[in-house]
Amino acid sequence: MRQPTQSFMTWNTIIQYAAALGSISLLSAGSLIAEETTPPPVTLMLESLASMPGNQRWDWWQARTAYLPGKTPLWLTTMSETGKTTSHDFHDIFQSISKDRGKTWSSPQLVPSLQRHNEKDGYQVAPGDLWPAWHAATNTILTTGKTFNFRDGNKEDYLRERVSYAVMEPKATWGPLQFLALPERDHAGYPIIAANAGCTQRYDLPNGDILLPIRYARDANNRNYTSTIAECAFNGKKLEYRRHGTEINIPKGRGLYEPSLTKFEDNYYLTLRADHTAFVASSVDGLHFNAIKEWQFDDGKPLGSYNTQQHWVTIGGGLFLVYTRRGANNDHIMRHRAPLLIGQVNPKSLQVMRATEQVLIQENHATLGNSGVCRISDTESWITCGEGLLRLGKRKGDHNKVLVVKITTNANPNP
């Protein structure tokens, strides 16, 4: 941290000295400082790939894609079989595979070990909000998420949620649904209740350990979430908790939830959903975070993303955020969850560079907030998103689609 401070002071001294001599104005000096701290824009190329349609009875929702490298690489998308008439009507998990870089997808097939099932106490339990990703150290696909729990098959009980996961080896089937064991209390002494990793973007360390964002409640009578990063060991079969970091909370609404994590250059970055807005924080070790900051554009105005998730893309030497927001001619969309957007982030100021914002998926009378990121290389990532809540718009009765967009760049990630 010492070197950037020294560099800034040196530059600032030069500016002040030049301004004193009258060679440049203080106004232009400020502009030069801003240019010095603003990263160069990375040009992205977007390409829509083949989609996967729902059917008469079910929508495909919470769809996310994993990339399996190798001589014959393939892409695997998992999705939740979701009822069309009621929120959170999640059932079985299906998967679809592409072997031709997303030009075509196989017909979705049921994952037997990830079906909604009955338990002895009368609850039906469905795995959901899954995020599959390749785990390079063990050559497996690890998907993490949560459980949805329905008393008598229809009344959801969020207090029974757990951090769920499943493992698939290449050329094999998915293993059983498993659960991450967590401590009973957090660092502050509060109970850890209803912990889950639903819709969270994890980061895998070079040694195979995993930094898994999770959220939990501290009071069974108050659905207010605290978010944190759990450092876990993973041997290709079992995920084991080791420790967790900063416990991040706000008392307003449902607190902070659906956290997503990435690493860019030497720092880690965390984005967090809140009911009324969204927040960002940075860290040097991925566990202990600086104070949260409300997401803004680089002109100081609020980003306008609220009550839905955001995720990260690192590509071409740039850090990007995937999000939805107010103010995009989208007042008719529930919670302004479409179009799906991407913008480059200034990692110093933790702001989205407004001039870099692009539309990933156009608004088409469906919500697009529940997206996923599949990182393939330093110059390619895919975004997967299932259309949601068509019953609320002009497309009522249509089959939804799982949409996939390929992002590439010619920018050198290591200039």
25 with 80, same domain? Answer: no
CA distance 54 to 68: 24
92 with 33, same domain? Answer: no
80 with 11, same domain? Answer: no
Checking if the pLDDT of 128 tops 80, the result is: yes
173 with 247, same domain? Answer: yes
User: In this structure, is residue 151 part of a structural domain?
Assistant: yes
What pLDDT is attached to residue 13? 37
Mean pLDDT of all residues belonging to the chain: 91
28 with 154, same domain? Answer: no
User: In this structure, is residue 217 part of a structural domain?
Assistant: yes
46 with 21, same domain? Answer: no
What pLDDT is attached to residue 170? 84
Give mean pLDDT, residues 2-16. Answer: 34
User: In this prediction, what percent of the chain has a pLDDT beyond 70?
Assistant: 91
84 with 22, same domain? Answer: no
User: In this structure, is residue 288 part of a structural domain?
Assistant: yes
207 with 347, same domain? Answer: yes
User: In this structure, is residue 414 part of a structural domain?
Assistant: no
Contact 89, 388 (CB under 8 A): no
369 with 305, same domain? Answer: yes
CA distance 54 to 36: 48
Checking if the pLDDT of 91 tops 60, the result is: yes
CA distance 60 to 69: 25
What pLDDT is attached to residue 312? 98
Q: What is the pLDDT of residues 345-378, one digit of tens each?
A: 999 999 999 999 999 999 999 999 999 999 999 9
Give mean pLDDT, residues 176-205. Answer: 98
CA distance 312 to 321: 5
Q: What is the pLDDT of residues 300-357, one digit of tens each?
A: 999 999 999 999 999 999 999 999 999 999 999 999 999 999 999 999 999 999 999 9
Q: Which residues span the domain enclosing 2?
A: 1-37
What pLDDT is attached to residue 87? 87
User: In this structure, is residue 66 part of a structural domain?
Assistant: yes
Checking if the pLDDT of 181 tops 90, the result is: yes
Q: What is the pLDDT of residues 35-50, one digit of tens each?
A: 558 999 999 999 999 9
293 with 367, same domain? Answer: yes
Report how many domains make up the chain.
Answer: 2
User: In this structure, is residue 415 part of a structural domain?
Assistant: no
What pLDDT is attached to residue 31? 43
Element (H, E) at 16: helix 2-20
104 with 33, same domain? Answer: no
User: In this structure, is residue 413 part of a structural domain?
Assistant: no
| Residues, the chain | 415
Q: In CATH, what number is assigned to the domain containing residue 154?
A: 2.120.10.10
CA distance 287 to 12: 33
Contact 379, 408 (CB under 8 A): yes
Structure tokens at 366: 């469906």
What pLDDT is attached to residue 415? 65
CA distance 356 to 342: 8
User: In this structure, is residue 214 part of a structural domain?
Assistant: yes
Of 213, 333, 323, 222, the closest CA to residue 263 belongs to 213
Checking if the pLDDT of 405 tops 60, the result is: yes
What pLDDT is attached to residue 337? 98
Checking if the pLDDT of 7 tops 90, the result is: no
Q: What is the pLDDT of residues 263-295, one digit of tens each?
A: 999 999 999 999 999 999 999 999 999 999 999
What pLDDT is attached to residue 210? 98
What pLDDT is attached to residue 18? 39
Q: Check residues 196 and 393 and name the one with the higher pLDDT.
A: 196
17 with 139, same domain? Answer: no
Phi, psi of 122, rounded to the nearest 5 degrees: 95, 0
How much is the pTM? Answer: 0.91
Checking if the pLDDT of 26 tops 60, the result is: no
- Ranges 150-159, 231-240, 271-280, 283-292: which has the least confidence: 150-159
Is the alpha carbon torsion for 131, 134, 135, 138 positive or negative? positive
